[in-house]
Amino acid sequence: MKVKLRLGATDGWVGTPDGGSHYIWGFVDLTGVPENKLSGFRGKAQLMAPPIVLKVEDEVYLTLTNLGTPDRKGLKEPHTIHLHGFPNQIPVYDGVPEASMAVPVTRDLVYYYKPLDPGTYLYHCHHKPAEHIQMGMAGPLIVRPRDFDPTDIEYKTAYGHGTGTEFDREYFIFLSELDGTIHNLVAKAQEPDWTNYKPTHWLINGRSYPDTVNTTDRFPGQPWPAAVGANVGERVLLRFVNLGFQQHAISIPGVDFRVVAVDAVRLQGLNGEDLSYFKNIIYIAPGQSMDAIFTAPEAPDLYPATLPLFNRNYNKNTLAGGEMGGMISEVRVYAPGTLPPQAAPSL
Amino acid sequence: MPTVNLWATDGYVGTPDGKNVYIWGFTDKEGGAAQLPGPAIIVKQQPYLIPTVVTVNLTNKLAEPVSLVFPGQGEVRVNGQPAQPQYQGDKLVSFINHALPGETITYQVTLTGPGTFLYESGTYPHRQVQMGLHGAMIVRPPDYLGLHPEKQTAYGRNTGTEFDREYLLVLGEIDPGLHQSVEHGLPYDTGEFNPRYRTINGKCWNGTVSGDGDGHLPARPYGSMIMMEPGEKVLLRCAGAGFESHPLHPHGNHARVVGLDGKLLQNCGISGTTDLSFKRFTILTGPGQTCDLIYTWTGPGYEPDTNPIPTRLPQIRKMALAPTGLTMWSGSPYLGVKGELPGEIESCNQIGEYHFMLNSHGVPGITGQGAFPGGMPAMIAVYPAGTLEPHHGMLPTESHTP
Amino acid sequence: MGAVIQNLWAKKGRIKFPGGAALPFWGFASSANGKPQIPGPLIKARAGDLVTINLYNHLKKNISLLFPGQQFIPRPVKENGVFVSYNTPAAPGDCTSYSFTAARPGVFLYESGTSPEEQVSMGLYGALVIYPRGYDDLLSPDYHTAYCGNTGTGFDVEKVLILGELDSRLNMAADTGSRFNMPDYNPDHLVINGRSYPHTLLPDNYGLLSSQPVGSGLGIIPGQRVLLRIINAGLQNHTFRLLGITARVVAVDGWPLKADENSLNATYLKNTITVAPGESYDLIFTVNGQGQYFLHHRDFNHPGKGNRFPGGMATRLTATLFESAGVPAAPLDLSCALINRKGVKLSWKNSSTGEEGFVIERKITGEDNIELLAILDNPGRQEYTDSTVLPGISYSYRICAYNSAGASKHSNICRIDTNNIEQGPEKLTCTTMYGKRADLAWSGSNARGSGYAIERRADNSEDFQTIAEVGPNTTFYRDLSVVNNTIYTYRVKAVFPAGAACHSNECVTVPKAAPLSAPDQLRSVYVTDKSVFLVWDHDSSDENKFHIERKTGAGPYIEIDVVANSQTWYTDKDVQKNGTYYYRVRTHSKSEGFSDYSYELLVNTP
């Protein structure tokens, strides 16, 4: 199927629960927006960048439009999209400006790809990537298997029928860090020294706890909460992506993860060996993705039971060094039949 | 049996911002300056059941004891005796027998099998390994035969590790402050370790995109410009010689991890062989660890006439090109085709080859002294079929045969 | 199915590190009157057992426990919708109880679930080892296995290594009730089982480390199957190396990589592993030869407190053909003697053969506090010199021998008073550094004094003057207050609280201006058949000139031009097609003459 998508690159502002606000650069979904309405999206970058959902054999035409940075008017920063993990890409669609080209302010570029392998991928800007990723130009991308059918439990899978990746619900756990000092310097048009990188906030889906579990719509620049919900016994697929610069170690006490795929590749050996494995800590490096499935555990008397999800690097679970915050979220387990079937990931 | 002569000595390496950093390192040339990383020791294993013993003579031209450890190898003997940790008074000095200043020590190392390994100093390693006293050791399987389609392998015939070309990537970091302290005899405090440069084979961008033996970088002999043709299997031997983990992301395709710490990811049992290799788009090489990857890029086969790319490119002149003043791009979307680039753009592209970045996703991993690019990005260059010499990129079968 | 009940008392305590540092910590004790320990008591159970933990809180904050990896559903507590504890806490002075069924074999953590960034860092953690049901039944296939029969996890020797870190600043802050800024977390003490090397080598229950009762030295016989269970209770990744050993990874997070006889064998070999916070790795290996093997942190930027090597997260495995004869015999006939400028020399007779090393303990005669002065981590020693003594004090010493089976009884006590000792710095050297500075280095620790005074005499004066005072552990000083081309004489004086002082030898130096550095990174940016464009780097700001030299083929170098300092490039227009040219550049200043040459650059014209 031919899929036409459009992303705008621009700037914006996001908040953290300690009352801080941070200047960002990021992407915003422009798919279907008429040309004469594009300027209304300037300054409306989102953190994390909008999730992209594709299907195997889709012919994807992804247009990047550089809307400029209204809060840094003098800045004429070009941008690109690097579709991280897509095999056999060619350089003009790979988004590396040193090996092809970048998109200057007011210009467009169409990136084409036809995904053949399902999985959890990521995308980000590759112009001055340390700066542009840190500033927020990064998001998740999933490719569904060709036989994906959300209404049939045998075909609601991450990697296709018969791959042992059936799930009832799915959520993004998109990990990143934010160095408030660097964002502040960029906002003031000053040059940061990246070797002094020292994050002040750790984020899941662009938010720091407790905003991660806040389902109100008061976060226009950060529209994706990270609370996980499931009825007892349901299989929950967590799509982990790390686009920070540090390794992270995510844990949910009371839950055993079965890791079914890493880097959008189902865990199997050359001869088809099933190499999926159980883990209690999801240790994930920058630029990696992992798909892990767990069964919502029984917790009689407690429904809805709340299981904390946190980074076992406990020093990353604070708000700028103060209150509990950062890479923390919740898994809520409900009595059977409480939650209706899930319509879209990461709700 | 192979004999390797190494000298531990000092020298300087240049950085992209024009500084010279004092290093300690190994050289295999008497009177030579220190190399970063040390000379690759490449040996071929003896046939099955015959032990392979490598003799390494280390001469210490530095002012403090220096030693060599060989993680992942078998027994190490010094003067016929098993090597042992060395103490001075009540303090551990070396994990293994060392050479005092001016002395030569002989290690006899029994190999355990094919793979990619590190060797590094086992004396005051917090200082000596950071200063550059480390290198890689490659052990080839006994049936290795260069340019033979089934016998040019990392781990032996029928292990699924055939390759067409191979590259060694020794990953590390340089904290110039610590190097300066050592150079001037000042107190050395690794608690303040703040590496300003991330390196592949001792080089930062743009050094990483030059070939072997680059005359501008005499202290760093190994290139990390990875050159290949479509469909070829490229063996990338990654060795984490520094103190940090480096998540390397090859653009263009996943890489299949076939070995860790020089051990094939395969188990044999009564019921047959279990393959444990795995594909990754980001490969984390931890400190002191190694990782053998096989990378392939086949491509979608676009041709200007028969199979054109499915989008219309904008006018190149209106796009942002060559962000650092220079581009690796040909100006054309097609492999083997040179396009038109605006006249003021300097292109390093030779014959329309494709360039894919191989970069660290860890922080300042892709910056040098805090600015991009610098640090760790290297390039994978895919040349049109039939344009590269068959031996291009190949390391010698053995490095130190008598 | 059995039942395991473990009582834990959470308390404040103090832990010790090599070199005499001590820190407040919070830990668990296994009895009401016991000392808290780091890590907490090792809890052992068998699969299927009902495990009950009774937690008594003797701290001033709420604490709770989490059991990651167990089928245990925590009951978080929230205030204003935000977690304040991940599980039901015990208030100060209260007790709470947790129980769960130990579902599967493996090595796991138990740890605080309340402000864990502070409480786990302070030491509120321990390990839980669950064995297969038939683990101690000789007739069971599970006998002496980590994960049941058919999982390839049979072993002869088992050792649990719990990795951890402490940031002294966090411990000091938490102890006084103030908050530490977590993004500044940068641990300075790295530990295995709560101890830093070389304390790790001391046997379990070593008397002076009463809150760090677990050693991690290993004594084995070659050929024995060793099960090493590494679990990371810290907040950071740690990379651990088994030097000279290649181990098989048989389980991760308590999940065996070969689950039973029919399942895939996904075990693999490693010699160095990175363990993330909360992760556990079970490794099995054998060693064939006798000797010592170090098991150490490969993150060499963290060697130990004060960034000295060795230290921190390291321990040692000793393989000997004969099983250790048990606890070594006590050293005999300890005697003490004063040696000027060195300290107190201890000598003894070694009456043991199976020791791994010796421990020196010291106290000031008449006082209570015994200090763990030094660990001599090598066998066969018969003497030791204590260079940290102060003049005018009476000291008492005793020593013992140790191995992994335990520590010997103490030797006799010897006493000595230091009224007549001469002590002070020695071997002072001055290094001539370029550029208005002089570097001094000396030997001798003055840990018991208040420091050193640096004294200097310039060539035109007669008296030494004190130009600086530095701390007692310093053995280096850089004098930046010099004038170039002046003759300076230095000496260093040890300063003691009582006022006694000794001088070092004298040394002389003449600081000089820096020589010119050579041009660097000479490169050709643009080459045609008519011209060669050269660029180089130079950081000099002086009024220098650059001299460009060229040679053609095998001929000599000829200077072809001179350009001003501000110009770090040159175009050679006098070249021909298909020519081979070598270039080099040096710089020159009136005051300092010529620098070295740059690298030689080869250019072939098209």
pLDDT at B273 (0 to 100)? 85
For chain B, first and last CA: distance in Å? 9
Using the beta-carbon criterion (under 8 Å), do A278 and C117 form an inter-chain contact?
no
Q: Give the pLDDT of residue C95.
A: 97
Total structural domains in chain B? 1
Q: What is the pLDDT of residue C433?
A: 60
**Are C601 and B87 within 8 A, CB to CB?**
no
pLDDT at B214: 40
Whether residue B225 has a cis bond before it, omega within 30° of 0: no
B286 touches chain C (CB under 8 A): yes
Nearest to A83 by CA among A104, A64, A107, A106: A64
Has residue B366 got a pLDDT over 50? no
**Which DSSP helix (H) or strand (E) runs through C131?**
strand C125-131
User: Could you tell me if A100 lies within 8 Å of chain C, comparing CB atoms?
Assistant: no
Q: Which helix (H) or strand (E) holds C171?
A: helix C168-175
Whether B120 is covered by a domain: the verdict is yes
C75 touches chain A (CB under 8 A): yes
Nearest by CB: A210 against C82, C277, C278: C82
* CB-based contact, C81 to chain A, within 8 Å: yes
Query: Is-cis flag, bond preceding C39, omega within 30?
Result: yes
Query: Is the Cβ of B174 closer than 8 Å to some Cβ of chain C?
Result: no
Domains recognised in chain C with CATH numbers: 3-319 (2.60.40.420), 332-417 (2.60.40.10), 426-509 (2.60.40.10), 520-604 (2.60.40.10)
Give the model's pLDDT for residue C514.
Answer: 66
Chain C, residues 96-115, CB within 8 A of chain A, namely 113, 115
- Which pLDDT belongs to residue C591? 66
Q: Convert C147-176 to b/e letters by CB count within 10 Å (16 or more is b).
A: bbbbbbbbbebbbbbbbbbbbeebbeebee
d(CA B130, CA B321): 37
Average pLDDT, integer, range C299-320: 79
The answer, yes or no, to whether residue C304 has pLDDT greater than 50, is yes
Window 257-286 of C, Cβ < 8 Å to A: 257, 264, 266, 276-279
Q: Is the pLDDT of residue B370 over 50?
A: no
In degrees and rounded to multiples of 5, residue B289 shows phi and psi of -120, 160
Inter-chain CB proximity C300 and B274 less than 8 Å: no
Q: Which of C267, C377, C433 sits opposite B184 (nearest CB)?
A: C433
Which residue range forms the structural domain that includes residue B182? 3-301+354-382
Nearest to C174 by CA among C30, C13, C313: C13
Q: Which residue of C71, C182, C257 is in closest CB contact with A315?
A: C182
- A91 chain-B contacts, CB cut-off 8 A: 329, 333, 354-356
DSSP state of A268: B
Q: Are C290 and C232 in contact (CB under 8 A)?
A: no
Question: Would B226 be classed as within a structural domain?
Answer: yes
Cα–Cα distance measured from residue C586 to residue C508, given in angstroms and rounded to the nearest whole number: 33
Angstroms from B11 CA to nearest CA on chain C:
13
Over residues C82-95, the pLDDT tens digits come to: 999 999 999 999 99
Residue type, C348: W
Residues of chain A with pLDDT under 70: 320-322, 344-347
Question: Rounded to an integer, what distance in angstroms lies between the CA atom of residue C448 and that of residue C418?
Answer: 13
Residues of C in contact with A328 (CB under 8 A): 83
> ipTM of the predicted structure?
0.94
Close Cβ partners of B231 (under 8 Å, ≥ 6 residues apart): B296, B297, B298, B385
Helix (H) or strand (E) holding C28: strand C22-29
Quick one: pLDDT at residue C158? Answer: 97
pLDDT tens string C367-425: 888 888 888 877 888 999 988 887 778 999 999 999 878 899 999 999 998 876 666 67
What is A171-334's CATH number? 2.60.40.420
Select the residue of C288, C299, C520 nearest B287 (Cβ to Cβ).
C299
Please identify which residue in the block is written with the tokens 């130190």. B400
The string of pLDDT tens digits covering residues C121-176 is 999 999 999 999 999 999 999 999 999 998 999 999 999 999 999 999 999 999 99
In a domain, B272, yes or no: yes
Residue B199 has pLDDT above 80, yes or no: yes
The residue extents of the domains of chain A are 2-151, 171-334
Q: Say which CATH number the domain at B191 has.
A: 2.60.40.420
Those of residues 16-35 in B touching chain C at CB distance below 8 A are 18-20
Evaluate whether B97 touches B125 at the Cβ level (below 8 Å).
no
Give the closest of A283, A302, A328 to C276, CB-based: A283
Output the pLDDT for position C428: 86
To the nearest whole angstrom, how far is the Cα of C69 from the nearest Cα of chain A?
6
Task: Examine residue B311 and state whether it is found in any structural domain, yes or no.
Answer: no
- Of the candidates A339, A343, A253, the one whose C-alpha atom is nearest the C-alpha of residue A297 is A253
Say which amino acid occupies C262: N
- pLDDT given for residue B360 in this prediction: 87
Q: What is the DSSP string of A288-341?
A: -EEEEEEEPPP-TT-SSEEEEEEESSGGGSBSTTSSB-BSEEEEEEE-TT-SPP
| C189 CB burial (10 A radius; 0-12, 13-18, 19+) | buried
Over residues C443-459, the pLDDT tens digits come to 776 655 678 889 998 87
Beta carbons of A87 and B280 less than 8 Å apart: no
- Check residue C498 and give its pLDDT: 56
Contacts 24+ apart (CB under 8 A), C550-557: C550/C581, C550/C582, C550/C583, C551/C581, C551/C582, C552/C579, C552/C580, C552/C581, C552/C582, C553/C580, C557/C582, C557/C584
pLDDT at position C181 over 80:
yes
pLDDT exceeds cutoff 50 at B217: no
Report the distance separating Cα A174 and Cα C165, nearest Å. 28
Q: What is the pLDDT of residue A216?
A: 83
> A–C: how many Cβ contacts below 8 A?
115
State residue A298's pLDDT score.
94
Cβ <8 Å between C81 and A305: no
DSSP string, C41-107: PPEEEETTPEEEEEEEE-SSS-B-EE-TTSS-----EEETTEEEESSPPBPTT-EEEEEEE--S-EE
More confident residue, C564 or C45: C45
Give the pLDDT of residue C449.
Answer: 67
Summarize the confidence of residues C11-30 as an average pLDDT: 94
Choose the closest CB to B75 out of C289, C294, C441. C289
Q: Which of B228, B246, B251, B258 should we substitute to test contact with A (largest number of A Cβ atoms within 10 Å)?
A: B251
* C-alpha to C-alpha distance for A288 and A290, rounded to whole angstroms: 7
Q: Check B289 against C296: CB less than 8 A apart.
A: no
How many pairs of residues across B and C have Cβ atoms under 8 Å apart?
A: 145
* Model confidence at C340: pLDDT above 90: no
Please calculate the CA angle C182-C187-C188 and round it to the nearest 5 degrees.
145
Contacts of C439 in chain B (CB under 8 A): 184-186
Instruction: Please tell me the distance from the alpha carbon of residue B355 to that of residue B325, in angstroms, as a whole number.
Output: 16
pLDDT of C24 above 90: yes
d(CA B203, nearest CA chain C) in Å = 13
Q: How far apart are CA A7 and CA C77, in angstroms?
A: 41
| Mean pLDDT computed over C18-40 | 94
Question: Which of B259, B201, B212 lies closest to B235 in space, CA to CA?
Answer: B259
Chain-centre distance for alpha carbon A145? 19
Q: Chain C residues with CB inside 8 Å of A299's CB?
A: 73
A215 touches chain C (CB under 8 A): no
- C185 reaches A (C-beta below 8 A): yes
> Who among B311, B329, B362 is closest to A100 (CB)?
B329
Q: Which residues of chain A are within 8 Å of residue B361 when distances are taken between CB atoms?
A: 243, 245, 285-287
- Judging contacts by C-beta atoms under 8 Å, the chain B residues touching residue C270 are 260-261, 263, 289
Hey, what amino acid is at C443? S
What's the mean pLDDT in B165-177? Answer: 92
Greater pLDDT, A322 or B313: B313
Residue C247: its pLDDT value, please? 97
DSSP string of A202-248?
Answer: EEETTB-BTGGG--SS--TT------EEEETT-EEEEEEEE-SSS-E
Inspect the interface and report whether the beta carbons of A127 and B251 lie closer than 8 Å. no
Residues within 8 A of C (CB atoms), B 331-390 only: none
Interface of C with A in 222-251 (CB under 8 A): 235-237
Query: A200 and C183 in contact by Cβ < 8 A?
Result: yes
**What mean pLDDT comes out for the span C551-568?**
83
What chains are in contact with C, requiring at least 3 Cβ pairs below 8 Å?
A, B
CA distances from C119 to C85, C115, C171 (A): 11, 6, 10
Kindly list the strands in the beta sheet with C65-66, ordered across the sheet, starting from the edge strand earlier in the chain: C43-46, C125-131, C106-112, C65-66
Q: A314 vs C72: CB contact, 8 Å cut-off?
A: no
Chosen for mutation from A212, A295, A314, A317 (greatest number of chain C CBs closer than 10 Å) is A314
B270-302 per-position pLDDT tens digit? 777 889 999 999 999 999 999 999 999 999 999
Residue tagged 């552990």 (tokens): C473
Contact B260, C270 (CB under 8 A): yes
Count of helix runs (H) and strand runs (E) in chain B: 2, 29
Which CATH number is A2-151's, of 3.80.30.10, 3.60.40.10, 3.40.50.2000, 2.60.40.420? 2.60.40.420
Hey, are the CB atoms on A321 and C181 less than 8 Å from each other?
yes
What is the rounded distance in angstroms from the CA atom of residue A229 to the CA atom of residue A309? 12
Q: Flag whether pLDDT at C248 surpasses 70.
A: yes
Best A6, A66, A82, A96 member to test B by mutation, with max B CBs in 10 Å, is A96
pLDDT tens per residue across span C191-238 = 999 999 999 999 999 989 999 999 999 999 999 999 999 999 999 999
Nearest-CB residue to A96 (from B253, B335, B357): B357
Q: Which two tokens stand for residue B114?
A: 């094919």
Q: Quick one: how far is CA C552 from the chain centroid? A: 55
**Which tokens is A250 given?**
């995510």
With a cut of 50, say whether residue B210 has pLDDT above it.
no
B203, B220 contact by CB (below 8 A) = yes
Do the beta carbons of residue C348 and residue C429 sit within 8 Å? no
